[in-house]
Amino acid sequence: MVLEPLDARRAGLDVERFRRDLGSPETDARVVADRERAKSVGVESTPTFYVNGRKISAAQATGKGLREEIDRALGK
């Protein structure tokens, strides 16, 4: 997915800052670091959910499934 200045404008962002940040080495480094961190904890796609440190499978990632996992984590 490639974001364009028009997308930034529609989202209410400062378009000039968006352009500057999009092309900056600092932004690129942060994205790479975030991607590596996600990979290191088992994130392979989005969305990925964790409850109390436990990865929730895609099959469980429904409203009902998440509620059940949260209740289990809370001891309910």
Residue 62 sits in which domain range? Answer: 44-76
2 and 36 both lie in a single domain: yes
Q: Which residues of 54-64 are buried (b: 16+ CB within 10 A; e: fewer)?
A: eebeeeeeeee
25 and 53 both lie in a single domain: no
26 and 53 both lie in a single domain: no
1 and 36 both lie in a single domain: yes
33 and 8 both lie in a single domain: yes
Instruction: Tell me how far apart the alpha carbons of residues 5 and 76 are, in angstroms, rounded to a whole number.
Output: 47
1 and 35 both lie in a single domain: yes
35 and 61 both lie in a single domain: no
Q: Model confidence over 16-74: pLDDT tens digits?
A: 998 899 889 999 999 999 999 999 988 988 888 999 988 888 888 888 989 999 999 99
- The structure's pTM equals 0.60
16 and 51 both lie in a single domain: no
